[in-house]
Amino acid sequence: MADSDDTTELTLLLAEYSQIKDEQRARIGFRDNLLYVTIGAVTAVTAVALQTSHPDLALALPVVCVVLGWTYLVNDEKISAIGRYIRTELASRLSTLSGPAAASAFGWETYHRGDSRRASRKITQAVVDLTAFVAVPFAALTVFWLYGTASALLISSSILEAVMLAVLGGQFLWYAER
């Protein structure tokens, strides 16, 4: 009876692996597309602001970039969490059921993390993320502060946006360090 139970559990573990990898793939595609959406939004807002000579429209960029950046960051963290779960929990349970040889069943989950250029890729990705989601909207705030309307409401909004961008930037750095 134990063999049947082990086979059932093994089947369930492999089904879980398949489902979780599907979720990871979907999240990767969604996350990566958020960079393109951000570039499109920045281009659209900038074009409208320049064509209409309304620098106050620059205040739209920080809000858009915070929302898209946070969504990007959350998905990126879930992608990493799925990988950690597979490497630790799922691989361990599979190894317990199938013996030590099964521990290497998810070899790719650890192999791709060990190459010599991983650190430089992670740093470059952090720079790209910070540029797209934090530096560009900070530039938009600078344009507003230099050329925008001196309305108390808009200036207050811009300060709040700067704080939100600083928090988002901090979160990007904190997650990148992990």
What is the DSSP track for 110-140? HHTT-STTHHHHHHHHHHHHHIIIIIHHHHH
Q: What is the pLDDT of residues 5-57, one digit of tens each?
A: 777 888 888 899 999 999 999 999 999 999 999 999 999 999 998 898 888 88
- Residues whose CB is less than 8 angstroms from the CB of residue 20 and which lie 6 or more positions away in sequence, other chains included: 82, 85, 86, 90
pTM of the model: 0.86
Q: How confident is the model at residue 125 (pLDDT cuts 50, 70, 90)?
A: very high
- For range 109-126, the mean pLDDT: 83
Q: Average per-residue pLDDT in the chain?
A: 89
Letter string b/e over residues 86-104, b meaning 16 or more CB atoms within 10 A of that residue's CB: beeebbebbbeeeeeebee
Q: CA 15 to CA 4: how far, in whole Å?
A: 16
Task: Report, as an integer, the average pLDDT of 94-116.
Answer: 73
